[in-house]
A and B are shown apart, each in its own frame.
Chain A
Amino acid sequence: MQCKFFTYHIHSLLSAPKIHTDLLWDLSLLFIGLSTLYFAAVFFFRNRQASNSAKMMGRKKTLAPMISEFLFFEEESSKNEKSDYINLKIEIRELLKDVYNRKALSSILLDLQKDVSGDTKKRVFKLYKDLGLDQDAYVKLKSWRWEVVSQGILELTQMQVTESFGFITKFINDKRGVIRKQAEIATVTLKHEGIAYFLDTTQYKISEWQQLKLLDVIRNLEDFNPPKFKAWLTSKNSYAVLFALRLIKYYNQNDAYTSIIQLVKHKNDQIKAEAISCIKEFNILEARETLKSVFWKCNVDIKILILDTIALFGQEEDIFFLKLIENKVVNYSVRSKALSAINAIYPESVIPTEDIIELFGNQIPDDIVTGTAKTSASEIDLEIDIAEHRFKTADILEIEDKEALEAFLKDEMEETVSKFENGPILDKEEIMAPHFIPYIVENEGATSNNLDIEVDYVGINRQSIKTGDDTEISEEQDFVEHIEASHKTLRFDFLPLICENETGFPNKSMDTPASEFTDVLKYHVFYEEVGRTTPLPVQDECNRESFRNPEGVSEDIGLMEIDFLPIVDNQKKEWRDIAIKFPLPSPCFPIEMNNKNLMETFIDEEYSNMDLLEAIEELGDKREIPFLKEMMEIGEEAIKERITELIRVFSKENEPSIFTGSNSSGNLDNGPYSIFEDFFRHCDTEGKLILLEEIATVGDEKELYFLSKLLTDPEIKIRERAKKAHDELKNRISEISGAVRVGEEHKTHLSVGAYNGYGGLNFKEAPIFTSKEEKKTTVGNDARKTKQLLPLEYCFLLDELKIEPFSPNSIADIGFELTIDMETSDENKKEVVNDRFRTK
């Protein structure tokens, strides 16, 4: 009781509820009982599990050799072994009726398939199915417990039961994550097309770890032919798109550039990063603009990825973008990446600037004591020259780049033009640009023949043309209208006409400021084309308009290429009458020359005649001599000299060549060609003698010429034989000609003079044959024998009766003329032919 009192009264201040002690004891007893029960249950189940495990291990130990027996059984075994194998089968079938044994067998086979490889592993798979253990796995798939279902899927997957593919794919979109992931692995593992089915079907997230496992499964598939993963870049499941991108990169499927570039714009940063990674991997240059466009909306990581990619295959035009990033982006990493990207595109274009000590030339610091070495003035000058030379060389090297060089030249040109337009007067050396009209003034007193003409150039700037007085402009317009009336074409290039200083013309040297030449439009200058120029694409109407408008003219002039040679005109007295012929691009309006004498003198006569003479010299021969003589009557002095020279050359060509002993047999030309000449050249002496005999027998008058040349042959035998053959042939020809001689010797075109010079022989009696047998003379003796000559009496009789003898080849005979005179003109030939035809 005291205890109760102590409990309830001493600690009255305690707010604990008043619970009866018996109740507490009762509660204590209850919890002790529950804990005892709990521990008893744990002990029981643990022992049970351990017992089952031990039982399973025992079963395994028992069944393992049996499994080994099944796995390593060979058909070639002995009968005892086969008998044991059959007994073992019977035994194992009995054992399979026990659930534990089935579990033990399944466990053994699942473990074994992990530890063995090769053919043994295949036997394990086969044994698993043969024992019907896969049915247990199918049953597990129907369980409501996720771990059982997962275990069933795992068993079927590990034992490669491909028949279970359809059952397992149902779990791809299961709500339970473990089952779903197990099903994904199984789907990809069991069949090669499982990956496609999975990507098509899955609607849930594919975790990074799961993607790695799936990739590992795919990687280890034998003979796996990956599908085109670009097909899933359009999937509604962004995780499928991401996984597809990774698979595309892994399998180097670089045939989806457009889709990958499009995915750079994806709102999912992971996909964006993976797409950029693919772009980087495949060097998709087309993605540069897209990368630049999405850059500003990306987070830092993506920006760095983009800059990395641009650094990899960026180009010159990306430099501006990178510079912009450097200036606009605050993030240090991004700016640094942009700079490194610039350097990656153009190495060393951005150099370190932080913590760099500035050095000023070669100034020696104050704390260093200099020596007393003296340098001569010449050495110093030499150093300065070398330094300047280096400087210039450096400049040259810098502009070696094509574009830089063009820009440099452009600037130089513009600068020169500005000098022209704004400067008062330019020296000769300063005139570099073609934007000027050469104005050439001859010194007073100089003549046209004086070559020491002082030629000065002055730039006629546009301003000076614009400031011409109205009257002159009016005259200019009249002039334009005047030249439009004719139909001559102005040409680009020109010969500037140089006028002597005359009365009324201000004698202003080139040292005079250009502003004093404001009345330059008063002077009309002829320019004649002397070379090729580049035509400008300017319309005729524009040209005309520019011609009417002095400002336009000046602008056109500024665009024209100047290529000219000066022509000095001393004859012109009225400088106002000299028209200006502007070198416009392609004007087609007419022009009338005010100074006709000048044009005739310089163009029509002199240049045309000179061109003609050059053509005659190149292509002509002695037949042009009469024409040249005609030209001499109307030509200038220089032309006459030229013509005389040509006539002399052509006359030389007319003279026959003189044979010498040294080349009599080797240089046989300038006479009728003999067919024996070629044979003769390639024969030895014996052959030549034989050939000469044949010539005497079968030759004709062409061979006479050939034989006459051989009379000067160095070999005596040949000379003698040639002389003999010549005489024989000559006699024979005379006999033949006696039969059918044409009596009218004046009609022969055989020029006696042409033969007079040939070795001193007299060929006055050389005949012209128009016989019907003429063409047969070179055929041979046999041919000659077939055609018998007509008796002279018979010929005279026919002649008296004016009857022509019948000839079946009379028509063809007309064409066979023996033309020994190669110099006969066409008209003479026609005449000869006509005469011959008449004789027939």
Chain B
Amino acid sequence: MDWLVAIPALPVVAFVALVFMPRAVRNKALWLPVGAISISTVLSIVAFFQMHPAEEGVTEALWNRSWALATINGKAFELGLQYDAIAAILLVVVTVVATCVQVYSLGYMHRDEREGWYFAVLSLFTAAMLALVLADNLLLLFVAWELMGLCSYLLIGFWYELEAPRKASQKAFLTTRVGDMGLMFALVVIFQQCGTWELAEVLGSVHTWTPPVAMAAAIGLLFGAMGKSAQVPLHVWLPDAMAGPTPASALIHAATMVAAGVYLLTRMLPVLEAAPPVLFATLVIGAITGLVGGLLAAVQHDVKKVLAYSTISQLGLMFMAIGSASVVATLFHLVTHAFFKSLLFLGAGVIIHSARTQDMREMGGLRKHMPVTWATFAIGSLALAGVIPFSGFFSKDEIIASLMHAHQTWAVGVVLAVSMLTAFYMTRLYFRVFEGPEQTEGIHDGHKSMLFPMVVLAAITCVIGFASPSFAGFLGEHGEWPSVQLIALSTTVAALGIGTGWWFYGRPWIVVNTAVYKERSAWLYNALKQKLYFDIAYDAIFIKPFMRVADFLWGFDSRVVDGAVNGTARGFVLFASASQLFDKNVIDGIVNGIASLSKNVGSGLRSLQTGRIQSYQRFILAAVVLLMLFLVVKGA
């Protein structure tokens, strides 16, 4: 099955090919990345069906191939890919969502100046996620992880001419970097312990680790995943990441980036299980994130921000599922969420494109004008709200069941509260956007290439929930349908949330003055409006002191370092002018002195050269007389 290499390789090839093209050619060659990801999708599905009747458990890899890169201390250093049940599922999800996003982008990014570059980064982004999922080795996983950080930075800041995307991209990059430090720490701990980064070997030796080692590694992994998957308190980058192109947001929020953190923890679940306090911390962080995300989503007016906080909230649910040590519940929610959240983002893209605003207070009555978007968006909303029989219902019930199984009753309460909040804010979003009075003119549905992927995703969202029992079976666990009591409970909760939303925003005969309620609970509303003060606190705790330190360092630089440099330069100038004076006076003086000396001597001797024979004769006579005198004196 070596052809599996092609799945991550094809988008990489597309990326490399696009990068080396001139911009004009690149913008015309969009069939290349779309074709590459389509072939990857087909290959992933083929591979999935080869895997499907497998009897192996979660950890048994169906295919493994590694390449030795170097020999270190006599030990081969290998990087490789492996294909197992988790990878099989995620490959299909990632490639399908990525293909939908790319096809959609053909319409959405049409005639953008840097369209080709956008598709190139999108390809690399997908390739990184595919490599991450296939990696049999923590180092390769880390490389792919960092590549995704880079690509999300490039995509969020795609319109870098504008202030907001630029800042958001930096924020996303730096915030996830903070989490990456945790992952790096975990990698060091694991290498210290095992001497290898091979996943199979690492996970196989977990039971021999001492508690402190397991604890350190688990904390590092959790922290890394928190950064990537936007868990409180590292969630601040995700809402700002909405500054990027909407399809890119769909990819970041569904198939790549945020899924990477959840995937990492799913993969490394044995390490977390070896450190029970960390496992519990995952549950608590997930619960807090779920509630915070849900509450914040309920007060946003920007369509995309509602969806962003909703993603945070749903990621919180996934972390709770990890906290209950359930791979099946985590992955199933990851999968269903990937499909319906990308669907919702693509729908939001059409809505924003058409309404030319992101503020839902300025929208209304869009249902009649964009029937396809309306239908698909409604399906996505119902799935997110957890209404039977859409996919979100099944995956949420799976989480509740696994939490009950782990005897965390309070967590079940949190999941129900989050579900209710979810139902509430999605109802709010739905009524604000699609129902009510029309506020803008010239609304029309999106282009075919944009609607087609949404229809595909909506269809998947409708049916994938019924895969619930076989999904567990695929991962080697026993799966069953949710019990009747559970169905009743979660349906009641969803109905409560939807009812509340309807009561506030949906009743056609009355417009509820929400300002009254906002004033009545002003302390809560203001806190939520300020995003629970996270950004303000980070600004005060990290950014301002950092700026101050930077200012101080700048001062140090400009005074001391520049001073030293300039001082040296000034010293050299002084030395040079001294040397110039020396040259001019002493060296030139000597040279000129010799010249003028010989000149003077010459002109003095010149007067002897009279040209008259007789004076020469006199000299000769004098010389002869002198010589004779000398001889006479000497002879005597």
A binds B: no
